[in-house]
Amino acid sequence: MTRKRVLVTDGTQRSALAVVRSLGLAGHTVFVCAPRVPSLAGSSRYSFAESAVANALDAPEQFVSDVSHLVERWRIETLIPITEASLLALLPERESLGVLIPWPDADTFRAISDKKALLATAASLGMAVPRQLVLSSQAEARALDAALLDYPLVIKPSRSVGEHDGQRVSLGVRHVAGADALRAELAELGEAAYPLLLQQRIVGPGIGIFLLMWNGNVLATFAHTRLREKPPSGGVSVYSESVPADAELVERSRTLLEHMHWCGVAMVEFKRDAGTGTPYLMEVNGRFWGSLQLAIDAGVDFPALLVAAASGESVAANAGYHVGSRMRWWWGDVDHLLLRWRKDVAALALPEGAPSRWRATLDFLTFWHPHDRNEVFRLKDPRPFFRETIEWLHRR
């Protein structure tokens, strides 16, 4: 293995921490940058140094300038952007930065991040996708007769990072149970949220298929299921478990990524309809995901494999991983429980059959399960957990 000097962006993200720990243990010299320091990943013993940079979402040009300065100052060879905003800012500047960024070009990244176009492509390949109505602008939203739609619905931006008049905003998913709720939600959204997807709500377990593709070959495969999420109706995983990768879903994922000329890591997200068993494609994230540490713990070291492959080293396809590994993001799980007690079922948009508050509490209080690990707290690297705890308490 050739040791590299690697810069990891967005040190406030849990995925950045997982990348830093992975690459540090693999022998690379790892640096971190973040909008605020000290950061979660920068607090790790595996971070050689960290520096503050502009926020990639609010000031992308200044962010690129700051990163360029660090690349020169720290003699960086490989750059690992973590968030979509960072990738959108850095990929077009790959040549001027003069470092290895193990991702496809900016146009390919934009294409795979566009849910509207992605789902259309997936449907053309024979994959099941949720029914949806596309609203291209605020004008179309105002002209919409909300009473004619079938509910419940999920409101999704076509892109997680919206752009309008040179401004970028981070956008999330919203659930609505009826026409009045839809009108209220649409009234709050600015033009940057469009195009917007009004999507059939699929109730059932979420299934993540994680792949590393390089030069047309699948080098690593992993799958997990979400046991709890934040918010409880569906969001980021706070408690998850590694499961066998469904061969059919892996093949569908590979076909889709290959069709889109993807090279690198990707999370392909499905939801299996609880009533019919049909797996619906929901989205593809062409970047490292929040629960990355679970894959690494289970035996699939995506960051180390990606850097090795991108550096031209011979990388054998990953032979497998441990099924049944579980990972809990402690403070995310606490937030999950607090939401269950602060809001009722309707306010949380929970599906029928969701665990009661007391059941959720008992599940939370089951502190130990075989093969459980805490995502952030590690005995050999405890400082990130203390940093996260301080920040969590400050937000309260």
Please tell me the pTM assigned to this model. Answer: 0.89
Task: Kindly report, residue by residue over 3-38, the tens digit of the pLDDT.
Answer: 999 999 999 999 999 999 999 999 999 999 999 999
Q: Do 243 and 124 belong together in one domain?
A: yes
Q: Do 247 and 396 belong together in one domain?
A: yes
The helix or strand, by DSSP H or E, that contains position 266, with its residue range, turns out to be strand 264-272
Assess whether pLDDT exceeds 70 at residue 164.
no
Check residues 353 and 378 and name the one with the higher pLDDT: 378
Q: Do 253 and 120 belong together in one domain?
A: yes
pLDDT at 167: 60
Assess whether pLDDT exceeds 70 at residue 168.
no
pLDDT at 353: 76
Q: Do 181 and 211 belong together in one domain?
A: no
pLDDT at 145: 86
Average pLDDT over the chain, rounded to an integer: 91
What CATH number has the domain bearing residue 153? 3.30.1490
Check: CB of residue 21 under 8 Å from CB of residue 80: no
Grade residue 1 by pLDDT with cuts at 50, 70 and 90. Answer: low
Of 156, 171, 200, the position where a domain reaches its end is 200
Task: Kindly report, residue by residue over 208-247, the tens digit of the pLDDT.
Answer: 899 999 998 999 999 998 888 888 877 788 999 999 999 9
Q: What is the 3-state secondary structure (H, E, C) of 196-247?
A: EEEEECCCCCEEEEEEEEECCEEEEEEEEEEEEEECCCCCEEEEEEECCCCH
What CATH number has the domain bearing residue 379? 3.30.470.20
Grade residue 187 by pLDDT with cuts at 50, 70 and 90. Answer: confident
Grade residue 314 by pLDDT with cuts at 50, 70 and 90. Answer: confident
Q: Do 385 and 365 belong together in one domain?
A: yes
Query: Order of strands, edge to edge, in the sheet holding 132-135?
Result: 132-135, 196-200, 153-157, 174-176
Q: Do 80 and 109 belong together in one domain?
A: no
308/60 Cα distance (integer angstroms): 28
Domain holding 339, by residue range, is 104-128+202-396
Of the chain, the percentage scoring pLDDT greater than 70 comes to: 97
- Least confident segment among 7-16, 73-82, 333-342: 333-342
Assess whether pLDDT exceeds 60 at residue 165.
no
Of 101, 118, 148, the position where a domain reaches its end is 101
Q: How many domains does the chain contain in total?
A: 3
pLDDT at 148: 81
User: 191 in the Ramachandran plot: left (φ > 0), alpha (ψ -120 to 50) or beta?
Assistant: alpha
Q: Do 123 and 270 belong together in one domain?
A: yes
- Whole-angstrom CA distances from 230 to 113, 150, 173, 189 are 22, 25, 12, 22
Q: Do 162 and 110 belong together in one domain?
A: no
Q: Do 210 and 323 belong together in one domain?
A: yes
Q: Do 97 and 33 belong together in one domain?
A: yes
- Least confident segment among 48-52, 154-158, 249-253: 154-158
What CATH number has the domain bearing residue 74? 3.40.50.20
Strand, helix or coil for residue 193 = helix
Q: Do 372 and 249 belong together in one domain?
A: yes
Of 161, 179, 200, the position where a domain reaches its end is 200
116/173 Cα distance (integer angstroms): 14
Q: Do 208 and 116 belong together in one domain?
A: yes
